Amino acid sequence: MKFRHLSQFEKELWKCGRCAYCVDEEICPSYRLIGFESGAAKGRILIARALLNNKLDFSSDLVENLNLCFMCGACKERCKTAAKIDTIKIFLAMRKESIDLGLYPEKLLPRYEKLKQFGNPFGLPKDERGSWAEEYNLPSKGETLYFVGCYESYVHSNIPEAFIKILEKAGITPAYLGNDEPCCGHLLIWEGRLEDAKEYAKQGIKVIEKSGAKRVVFSCPACYAAFKVEYPEILGIKSPFEILHATEFLANLIEQGKIRPEKEIKERVTYHDPCSLGRHSEVYDAPRKILRSIPGLEVNEMERNGRFSFCCGSGSGAITPILYEDFSKKIGKLRLEEAKNVADVVVTECPQCLSQFRLVKSEYGINVEPKSLIILLAQALGINIT
Amino acid sequence: MTEEVHKVLINIFGPRVTNKPIDLQAYSRDISPARETLASFVVKPQSTDEISNLLRVANKYKVPVYVRGGGTSHWAGWLPVKGGILVDMRSMNKIIEINEEHLTATVQAGCTWYKLEKELKKRGLAYLASELGGPSMTVGGSIVKAGGGPYGTCKYGLHGYCDVVALEVVLPTGEVIRTGSQAYKNVPPFDRFGAGPDLTSFFIGSEGTLGIITEVTLRVRPAPEKEEYLYFVFKNWKNVEKVGSLICRPFGDELAYTFYAFQDGADLENIHCFIHVYGYSSEEAELRVKKIKEICSRHGGKEQDSEPVKAMYESKWFLTDIFERGVWHFVGGSVPINNLVPFVEVWKDIVINKYKFLNCAFGAWPYPRAWLPYVQFYYKEPDEWDLIWEVTDVLTKEYVRMGMIPYRIGGPEGFLPYVKPQLNGYYEFLKRLKKFLDPNNILQPGILIDQEEEP
């Protein structure tokens, strides 16, 4: 059948009443960049219908258009009050069609190859994955497992270090898979490589089950969303273990009085909801609870927050920064400037968002400091970490 | 010639012009069931000068130009039935000035009501006659069709009733004019009347055929200090008609701000009335509430918990579950304040009894000495497309024959075919004006004036 992925959504496509709730440059980074309604969900739905009705060719223009979608989910959130269309799934189906048609962007291939060869998208040695944890002697088996993910293992390893040190304060030693921890494969989902992603999902679940874990804690929200939301769906199974994001786990520890942030931190901060933790996984309160527990902090919300937080410009699967770096930075600049309006420090708990904000800060000289929430909490607990 | 036009458009708009098939497809429909219609180009102007240049080019090459705001018309109000250039006004979205002494807000025509309201709120001000068309609805789009929703209409009427102070308009041949007091050099837009006749009114409701509105100055008001919500259920429309008339009777000082009555096609027992009241003091609001309650009770209204009313008005930009029962089509317009009931009866006869189309609702809201009744259809595309055309064709014919003035006219798949036979010499006069202002008939051809009869 022509457009085998997209045709599964035919009924869904006709639910759109063209109310244009989603056509809003304040919430949709793609529409903001493209400028025409083809950049917003309403336009893409009309395009998808035309594809199915053979009124439109699947052109290279369309591939570019689809990859300029950050998959941030703001349109889906708006549509919840209208037609309740799962816009993101439709756009993903269109990306899958582009793969079937051989229109996959070549610039994404090196990352894919690295992932296949090295087990991480950076092409870094597999046996260095667990280097950050060498001094902590973490067991490989246990009821509570900490899943770190590629980004934090190789690029932001101060975050897992901070997390482990916080848990030490609560008397908790989690299990950790070390070099055997696989990539979650989250980015493959967003590239539209569903079959590959399924293999990563099965492998990830198998390795975790083998560790005997009853609950798994993720600090990377992309890995968290993959295991909590995406894999049960694509594999059609219920997760065999409990899944928690580190912010949920830590907020619980604070609530139970097992950790007490007592060191005053006199900073004016704002919280940026990562798309994968917020809209994709619906974790909004836990990070804010942690911020509220830290003495001395002035916490100000940006105008766009929570369900309608604006994307950092990296997007799900970090595709746009690879294909359209300038566009990606433009969006990051808008978000960082918004943060600067209300704070000196923008706190988040996503390694992708952090990298993006640091890049944008140095590129445009925006005077606001990106910071990991876990590291901020560690500092409030008197842990010496930067 | 198309390539030549494209080059000229690129000179004017740079990257803000497109002729990519995917982009054109994204602009192929409004909210109505009208079929897909494609332009050859879409442009997104950012200034009045760009629009002026565009219209000069369109005249030179005799290319049709269509204009839209948020694109949410439900009467085929901008669909490019003759192809050509579609102007998407949403990049002209600046708030130019909010003057807290004149009580005016001047905005570019593509500014959304949603954006304007947020800015006014920061200053303790409000524009009190808005529609319920969602966050994409633009100020220019509403003014050009003299629109009005249930919100605030009871007191302030449709847009243009009194709250449009002045306009900046690019005429079809490219000249720019300013109406109201700003017709005079260096005079701000503080008054609707400038020199000679009220040409602000001339463009309100013109459906984009007589010029492109680029700037709008609106009357704003201090935000009310006290708001109250009331919910009454009635058993017959005769009483609702009477209640609406009485609430609006203190002309200029109507008791309610909003009065919105509706009945579901699947429940012909109950008529739900959502009422919104405000005052500049608690005492004023309480007095209005007391009088409204008396009127409603005297006419058989049963008071309900007002929470759903409050919830609806508080979420007016993002009404929930709007397509739960299907996508939308509307048939409606204006009738005199004492002539609502016959339209209810015809809805029941045609839609409910003849076609058994229960997935619909009849709604109405009063505005000063008039009602705006409408039937809202919920239907499934593409399966019910033919049915919806048939039912609404029969209903519209009857409503127009009965004297309903459709809320706007639009194109061949809007109300135009129904309205034209009902118009008298006024239509001929309109065509003469159109010919005078737009000698090449480049602006919105096929909208408001029939393609067959175009000057």
Q: State which residue of chain A sits closest to B87, comparing Cα positions.
A: A36
Cβ–Cβ < 8 Å for A290, A219: no
Rg of the Cα atoms in chain B: 22
Strand ranges inside B311-433, DSSP E = 327-336, 360-367, 370-379, 405-406
**For domain A125-253, which architecture applies?**
3-Layer(aba) Sandwich (3.40)
Domain extent listing, chain A: 6-104, 125-253, 259-380
Q: Do domains A125-253 and A259-380 have the same CATH topology?
A: yes
User: Which of A313, A229, A238, A301 lies closest to A274 in space, CA to CA?
Assistant: A313
Q: B455 pLDDT band (50/70/90 cuts)?
A: low
Q: Is A360 on the interface with B (CB under 8 A)?
A: no
Would you state the pLDDT for residue A250? Answer: 98
Q: What phi and psi values does residue B34 have, to the nearest 5 degrees?
A: -55, 145
Would you state the pLDDT for residue B316? Answer: 83
* pLDDT greater than 70 at residue A167: yes
* pLDDT greater than 80 at residue B445: yes
Half-sphere exposure of B261 (CA within 13 A, CB side): 31
- CATH class of the domain whose range is A259-380: alpha beta
Contact B71 A15 (CB under 8 A): no
Would you state the pLDDT for residue B134? Answer: 86
Helix extents (H) in B68-196: 113-122, 139-144, 153-156
User: Which of B199, B159, B181 lies closest to B433 in space, CA to CA?
Assistant: B199
* pLDDT greater than 90 at residue A39: yes
| Rounded Cα distance, B270 and A191, in Å | 52
**Percentage above 90 pLDDT, chain B:** 84
Q: B398 pLDDT band (50/70/90 cuts)?
A: very high
Task: Find which of A18, A79, A98, A304 to mutate to test the B interface (most B CBs within 10 Å of its CB).
Answer: A18
Top mean pLDDT of A240-249, B318-327, B405-414 is at: A240-249
Would you state the pLDDT for residue B453? Answer: 60
CA distances to B59, B186, B280 from B333, in Å = 34, 39, 32
Cβ–Cβ < 8 Å for B238, B341: yes
Contact B30 A65 (CB under 8 A): no
The answer to which of A167-176, B283-292, B306-315 has the lowest mean pLDDT is B306-315
Edge-first strand listing for the sheet containing B302-303: B302-303, B226-234, B271-279, B258-264, B360-367, B370-379, B327-336, B405-406
Residues in Cβ contact with A124 at an 8 Å cutoff, skipping those fewer than 6 apart? A118, A154
Cβ–Cβ < 8 Å for B146, B204: yes
Per-residue pLDDT, averaged over A176-181, amounts to 97
* pLDDT mean across residues, chain B: 94
Instruction: Decide: helix, strand or coil at residue A34.
Output: helix
Q: Is A10 on the interface with B (CB under 8 A)?
A: no
Contact A46 B23 (CB under 8 A): no
Per-residue pLDDT, averaged over A34-52, amounts to 98
Residue A188 belongs to what H/E stretch?
helix A186-191
Give CATH for domain B2-91: 3.30.43.10
B318, two tokens: 């993002």
For residue A382, the 8-state DSSP code is T
The answer to which of A312-316, B12-16, B239-243 has the lowest mean pLDDT is A312-316
Would you state the pLDDT for residue B213? Answer: 98
Tens digit of each residue's pLDDT (9 = 90 or more) over A259-285: 999 999 999 999 999 999 999 999 999
Would you state the pLDDT for residue A53? Answer: 95
Per-residue pLDDT, averaged over B189-195, amounts to 92
Contact B20 A38 (CB under 8 A): yes
Tens digit of each residue's pLDDT (9 = 90 or more) over B41-88: 999 999 999 999 999 999 999 999 999 999 999 989 999 999 999 999
Q: Is A42 on the interface with B (CB under 8 A)?
A: yes
Tens digit of each residue's pLDDT (9 = 90 or more) over B216-273: 999 999 999 999 999 999 999 999 999 999 999 999 899 999 999 999 999 999 999 9
Q: Is A79 on the interface with B (CB under 8 A)?
A: no
* pLDDT greater than 90 at residue B147: no
Contact A81 B322 (CB under 8 A): yes
B118 contacts in chain A (CB < 8 Å): none
A114, two tokens: 């690295």
| Rounded Cα distance, A301 and B388, in Å | 46
Per-residue pLDDT, averaged over A150-172, amounts to 97
Task: Find which of B18, B22, B44, B327 to mutate to test the A interface (most A CBs within 10 Å of its CB).
Answer: B22
B327 contacts in chain A (CB < 8 Å): 14-18, 83
Domain extent listing, chain B: 2-91, 95-222, 226-405, 416-453
CA distances to A340, B147, B216, B262, B416 from B376, in Å = 46, 16, 30, 10, 19
Q: B454 pLDDT band (50/70/90 cuts)?
A: low
Q: State which residue of chain B sits closest to A36, comparing Cα positions.
A: B23
User: Which of B2, B66, B62 lies closest to B34 in space, CA to CA?
Assistant: B66
B16 contacts in chain A (CB < 8 Å): 35
Q: A304 pLDDT band (50/70/90 cuts)?
A: very high
Would you state the pLDDT for residue B452? Answer: 65
Size of interface A-B (CB pairs under 8 A): 109
Predicted complex ipTM: 0.95
Q: Does domain B95-222 have CATH number 3.30.465.10?
A: yes
Would you state the pLDDT for residue A85? Answer: 97
Q: B152 pLDDT band (50/70/90 cuts)?
A: confident
Q: Does domain B226-405 have CATH number 3.40.462.40?
A: yes
Contact B31 A18 (CB under 8 A): yes
Would you state the pLDDT for residue B159? Answer: 75
Contact A46 B29 (CB under 8 A): yes
